[in-house]
């Protein structure tokens, strides 16, 4: 049977001191960082799920960032859509006033000038920018989408011939969208050709119910100046259809904004859940860590005293 020597006891005590010292180092690091997992060796089984959830969290954060940007852009766009509706309503009111049988030539010129001003407001709305990018240019965000056709002739106007329109469109038909989930995108912006020209495909041909808002305003202006009742009646119908076009598209984008907002809330909840799961692996219970640290420091001091006494023993102490 092996006998326990003084050297063996001393080596055993020294080894225990090293173990206790390492444990105190870990506890002190946990108390300083608030983390129970400061390196892979702290919890080998927890590394894989933590890394996996971190990747998921980063993806969720990216979705949330894109959704936040899209929400801001859609709010700006909605404001301009409201302006477009108001312009069409104001043009209709002006045209109705001009059709009043009591309007003289001077009155008609005044009403026509008002429609011309509304045309300028519409052009400003169509060429609006958000964060330095043109809202209604499709993917051509750095290009001014609409320029005035100074040679516009109401008598030569052909809805399906872009060269006869009151404005020229320089954007494209690519509507911007945002990804709210893997392979799930929602349209966030209208293209100028769809909203203002009634030509969603940008092929030069009006959609079935499409209305060229700019040319309609120019035609109404010309009809008022000439006092052409038939042209004014046609213009009144086109103004109403144009207002419906703007309202319909605004309603569609409002639904999209609602879906994006819901997706944002869902992503926010998912992000919180992911952080909680990661926290369950990484974060330490600070009160428990401090309590354990005090206990280990007390035990370490006691063990240190015992080791110190053992190291001073010799054969003379037993003689």
Each residue's pLDDT expressed in tens, for the chain with a length of 319 residues: 444 555 665 566 566 666 666 666 665 766 666 676 666 666 676 677 777 877 888 888 888 888 888 888 899 999 999 999 999 999 999 999 998 877 788 999 999 999 999 999 999 999 999 888 999 999 999 999 999 999 999 999 998 899 999 999 999 999 999 988 888 899 999 999 999 999 988 888 888 889 999 999 999 999 999 999 999 999 999 999 999 999 999 999 999 999 999 988 888 888 888 887 777 766 665 666 566 656 766 766 666 666 666 555 554 444 4
Query: Which pLDDT score, from 0 to 100, does residue 115 have?
Result: 97
- Residues 62, 293 contacting (CB under 8 angstroms): no
* CA 59, chain centre distance (Å): 14
Taken in order of first residue, the domains within the chain and their CATH numbers are 53-275 (1.20.1330.10)
Nearest to 110 by CA among 234, 218, 214, 224: 224
- Consecutive H or E run containing 146: strand 146-148
Nearest to 289 by CA among 8, 63, 37, 13: 37
Q: In which residue are the tokens 């219970």 written?
A: 285
Kindly state the tokens that stand for 34. Answer: 């608030």
Distance CA 260, CA 139 (A): 20
Kindly state the tokens that stand for 192. Answer: 């100028």
Tell me if residue 168 falls in helix, strand or coil.
strand
- Consecutive H or E run containing 186: strand 184-187
- Consecutive H or E run containing 178: strand 177-181
Query: Which pLDDT score, from 0 to 100, does residue 202 have?
Result: 80
Q: In which residue are the tokens 């109401």 written?
A: 154
Enter the pTM of the model.
0.73
Distance CA 73, CA 297 (A): 58
Kindly state the tokens that stand for 309. Answer: 């006494």
């Amino acid at each position: 049977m092996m006998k326990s020597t003084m050297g063996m006891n001393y080596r055993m005590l020294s080894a225990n001191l090293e173990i206790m010292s390492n444990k105190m180092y870990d506890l002190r690091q946990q108390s300083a960082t608030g983390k129970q997992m400061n390196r892979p060796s702290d919890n080998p089984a927890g590394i894989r799920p933590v890394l996996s959830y971190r990747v998921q969290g980063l993806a969720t954060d990216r979705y949330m960032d894109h959704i936040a940007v899209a929400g801001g852009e859609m709010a700006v766009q909605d404001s301009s859509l409201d302006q477009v509706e108001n312009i069409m309503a104001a043009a209709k009111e002006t045209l109705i006033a001009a059709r009043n049988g009591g309007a003289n030539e001077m009155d008609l010129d005044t009403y026509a000038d008002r429609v011309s001003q509304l045309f300028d407001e519409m052009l400003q709305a169509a060429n609006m920018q958000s964060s330095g990018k043109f809202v209604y240019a499709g993917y051509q965000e750095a290009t001014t989408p609409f320029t005035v056709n100074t040679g516009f002739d109401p008598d030569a106007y052909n809805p399906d011939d872009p060269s006869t329109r009151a404005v020229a469109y320089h954007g494209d038909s690519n509507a911007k969208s945002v990804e709210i989930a893997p392979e799930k995108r929602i349209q966030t912006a209208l293209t100028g050709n769809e909203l203002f020209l009634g030509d969603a495909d940008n092929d030069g041909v009006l959609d079935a119910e499409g209305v060229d808002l700019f040319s309609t305003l120019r035609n109404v202006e010309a009809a008022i100046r000439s006092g052409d009742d038939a042209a004014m009646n046609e213009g009144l119908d086109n103004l109403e259809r144009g207002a419906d076009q703007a309202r319909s598209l605004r309603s569609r984008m409002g639904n999209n904004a609602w879906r994006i907002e819901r997706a944002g809330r869902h992503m926010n909840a998912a992000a919180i859940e992911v952080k909680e799961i990661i926290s369950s692996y990484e974060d330490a219970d600070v009160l428990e860590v401090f309590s354990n640290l005090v206990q280990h420091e007390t035990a370490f001091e006691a063990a240190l005293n015992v080791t110190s006494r053992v190291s001073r023993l010799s054969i003379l102490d037993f003689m």
